[in-house]
Amino acid sequence: MRSDRLLWLLLIGLFAGGVILAVNHEQGEVAGIDINKFGALVGQLSIAVFVGAAAWSIIRGRIAESLMAAAFWLVLAVLLALGYTYRDPLAQVGRKVLAEVAPGYAVNLAQTGTSIVEVTRGAGGDFAVRAGINGSGVSMLVDTGASSVVLTHEAAQAVGLPVDFLKYDVPVDTAAGRTRAAAVVLDTMTVGSIVERHVPALVSPAGALRTSLLGMSFLSRLDAFEFRGDKLVMRGGK
């Protein structure tokens, strides 16, 4: 019984290793270890588990079970090897599926000198996107009619802007009427693999805006952006 539990723990560990490889592939390393070396470690561990499981079953005198265990771990090792070999197309398929089931998730289509990102239209008809601002995630609506990126008071506070010390002196029109916002400059702003720095933005007063807006002060910096049916495709600058 203990050996079975040990094998399942090892199996879970191998699966976790595969997930870590897929998630960190674009970064090129895992916890400071080169991604290829980490993949080799996962493969070596799968082989060790396969050999160990077979040896343990033989020692216990269960030849039939040892053959079944050997076949199981051999298939597992082959699947892991195939998964790692084709990790790029598999990861791309996974991102496309995630974009369909979770609108707003930015899918990186290409990174060959120029970043291309695709966002799927939400059920409400709008293009919502999860942007990164100064290292923090912010949910935003794409609004080509907004001349600037506009953050809600809460979002600005969440990304570390000093909302209590800003000067709210820029007149803006919102769905609730005319109000005044504070001008700021965002150190970094990312959508998928697209990265822009020193992006002008506005911060709305508390209660004046329900959702942050991804406006033209970001979109105009792109090489191009276009709406293709239910998809928004953004091409970052080089």
Q: What is the pLDDT of residues 151-192, one digit of tens each?
A: 999 999 999 999 989 999 998 876 666 789 999 999 999 998
pLDDT > 70: percent of the chain: 50
pLDDT of residue 12: 66
Q: Are strands 224-228 and 212-214 parallel, antiparallel or unpaired?
A: unpaired
> pLDDT at position 216, please?
93
Residue 205 pLDDT exceeds 50: yes
The predicted-structure confidence for 65-102, as pLDDT tens digits, reads as follows: 555 666 666 666 666 665 665 555 555 555 555 545 45
Every domain of the chain and the residues it spans = 2-85, 102-235
DSSP letters along 102-157, please?
A: STTPPEEEEESSSEEEEEEPPTTSS-EEEEEETTEEEEEEE-TT-SSEEE-HHHHH
Question: Is pLDDT of 107 > 90?
Answer: no
Q: Does the pLDDT value for residue 30 go beyond 70?
A: no
Q: At what angle do helices 2-24 and 63-85 cross, to 10 degrees?
A: 10
Please tell me the distance from the alpha carbon of residue 225 to that of residue 238, in angstroms, as a whole number.
Answer: 14
Buried b (16+ CB within 10 A) or exposed e, 217-237: bbbeebeebeeeeeebebbbe
* pLDDT range class, residue 28, cuts 50, 70, 90: low
Mean pLDDT across 29-35: 58
Higher per-residue pLDDT: 200 or 12: 200
CATH class of 102-235: mainly beta
